Amino acid sequence: MAVKRTPLHDAHAALGARFVEFGGWEMPVQYSGIIDEHTAVRTRAGLFDVSHMGEIEIAGPAAFDTCQQLTVNDVARLHDGEAQYSLLCLPNGGVVDDIMVHRLAVDRYLFCVNASNADGDFGWMHEHRGNAAVINRSNDFALLALQGPRATAILARLTTLPLDRIAPFGFAEGEITGQHALVAHTGYTGEDGWEIYCAPDRVRIVWDRLLEVGAKDGLVPCGLGARDTLRLERCLPLYGHELTTETTPLEAGLGWVVRLNKGEFIGGDALREQKRRGLARKLVGFELTEAGIPRQGYPIVDDGNVIGCVTSGTKSPTLGKAIGLGYVPAASANVGTKLAIEIRGRRVAAVTVQLPFYRRS
């Protein structure tokens, strides 16, 4: 299958981006450098092209019921113009994908899904559509993420939308630099920011104008490299790492997303049963206390025995420490547990820590 490109590919190349394949897409991994871009988002602002993400709409009089069946969060908590983080689960509680659900209207919901899962999600949602229509709208949208403490001030220069009245997880439709867009007060970096859904043939105008009017605030284009280190510091899970069909949301520490009492939904029985019996394993965060960098797949060792596996790891640009996430038995999951990470056959000391690693003040 051919690797896909976003409508901004030429813009990225002109900015000196280095590209990487991710989820079937050729995406910018960095421009000036991951640490530079990471720091820009933490202290000023960064602009990401995340047009590889998929969009799927559930529509019709039965849309609400279908959304409740398909997702673990409670769609009844949403009003028009509100979004919620949620998950699609298998009947056994394994995770199909993590998603954002936007209520466009009482009978229309827009799901934003991971690029690598977009086709699979669409198939899954279509199979479980009930009496609602499931429409793959991925080709209708490009998606930008404007993130960082200066993001709102920058965006306000290009829109008449009342950004100060859009609460976190709220969204509104309006114009940005004259282009129709859906602007959501959401993100994946741990900073304040916005995600901007607009037409693929208009996104270049929005991208260029944002970079232009944000330059004086220190806005820079950012790639998937910084997106990954930013989300990891804030402990936002990444599908294929912390979340897979082999892990449940409860094990991943996402119990707050799962509304076990909302009524029937796919995976509900298995998750209620898992909660009743208690968790055998949990996702933990750790720091290395010796030199090294944890990476996905490295074994986690306790008292000489391999007890788990690293799901994500990096050298945290904000904290200057080597940090990671991984699954361990519940007995080893308490904060302060001394563990080791096996790196190229060598055991490197680590200690479990309170999550998230980073939270904005």
Partner 1 sequence: MEFPEDLKYSKEHEWVLVEGDVATIGITDYAQEQLGDIVFVELPAVGDKAGKDEAFSVVESVKAVSDVYAPVSGKVLEVNDDLPDSPEMLNEDPYGDGWMVKIEMSDKTDLDDLMTSAEYEEFVAQEKE
Q: Which is nearer to partner 1, 182 or 322 (CB)?
A: 322
Residue with tokens 């990487």: 20
Cα distance from N-terminal residue to C-terminal residue, the chain: 44
- Provide the total of helices (H) and of strands (E) in the chain, helices listed first: 8, 20
Inter-CA distances, 103 with 97, 184, 214, 275, 336, Å = 18, 11, 30, 29, 41
Helix/strand/coil for 354: coil
- State the CB neighbour count (10 A cutoff) for residue 39: 18
Rounded CA gap, 42 and 48, in Å?
14
Residue 3 DSSP symbol: P
- Write down the least CB distance from residue 228 to partner 1, Å: 7
Q: Which is nearer to partner 1, 188 or 265 (CB)?
A: 188
- Write down the least CB distance from residue 28 to partner 1, Å: 12
Q: Which is nearer to partner 1, 278 or 345 (CB)?
A: 345
Interacting span for partner 1 (CB under 8 A) from 30-38, 41-49, 84-92, 124-132: 30-38
Nearest to 192 by CA among 221, 238, 230: 230
CA atoms within 13 A on the CB side of 150: 21
Which helix or strand (DSSP H or E) is residue 329 part of? strand 322-329
Residue 300, token pair as written in the block: 């986690």
Rounded CA gap, 123 and 217, in Å?
43
Q: Which is nearer to partner 1, 148 or 292 (CB)?
A: 292
- Write down the least CB distance from residue 285 to partner 1, Å: 18
229 binds partner 1 per the rule CB under 8 A? yes
- Write down the least CB distance from residue 226 to partner 1, Å: 9
Q: Which is nearer to partner 1, 225 or 237 (CB)?
A: 225
Q: Between 34-43 and 224-233, two packed helices, what is the crossing angle to 10 degrees?
A: 50
Interacting span for partner 1 (CB under 8 A) from 26-34, 185-193, 250-258, 300-308: 26-34
Three-state SS sequence of 305-328:
EEEEEEEEEEECCCCCCEEEEEEE
Options 81, 225, 249, 253; binder of partner 1; rule CB under 8 A: 225
Which residues ranging from 297 to 316 are in contact with partner 1 (CB under 8 A)? 314-315
- Write down the least CB distance from residue 30 to partner 1, Å: 6
Options 55, 228, 233, 251; binder of partner 1; rule CB under 8 A: 228
Options 5, 24, 35, 137; binder of partner 1; rule CB under 8 A: 35
- Write down the least CB distance from residue 93 to partner 1, Å: 31
Rounded CA gap, 194 and 206, in Å?
13
Residue with tokens 């000023």: 44
Which residues ranging from 256 to 295 are in contact with partner 1 (CB under 8 A)? 291-293, 295
Interacting span for partner 1 (CB under 8 A) from 28-36, 74-82, 187-195, 272-280: 28-36
Listing DSSP states for 230-256 in one string gives HHHHTT---BTTTB-TTS-TTTTT-GG
Options 34, 87, 134, 340; binder of partner 1; rule CB under 8 A: 34
User: How many residues sit in the footprint of partner 1 (CB under 8 A)?
Assistant: 18
Options 28, 214, 317, 324; binder of partner 1; rule CB under 8 A: 317
Which residues ranging from 319 to 348 are in contact with partner 1 (CB under 8 A)? 322, 344
The footprint of partner 1 (CB under 8 A) covers 18, 29-30, 33-35, 225, 228-229, 291-293, 295, 314-315, 317, 322, 344
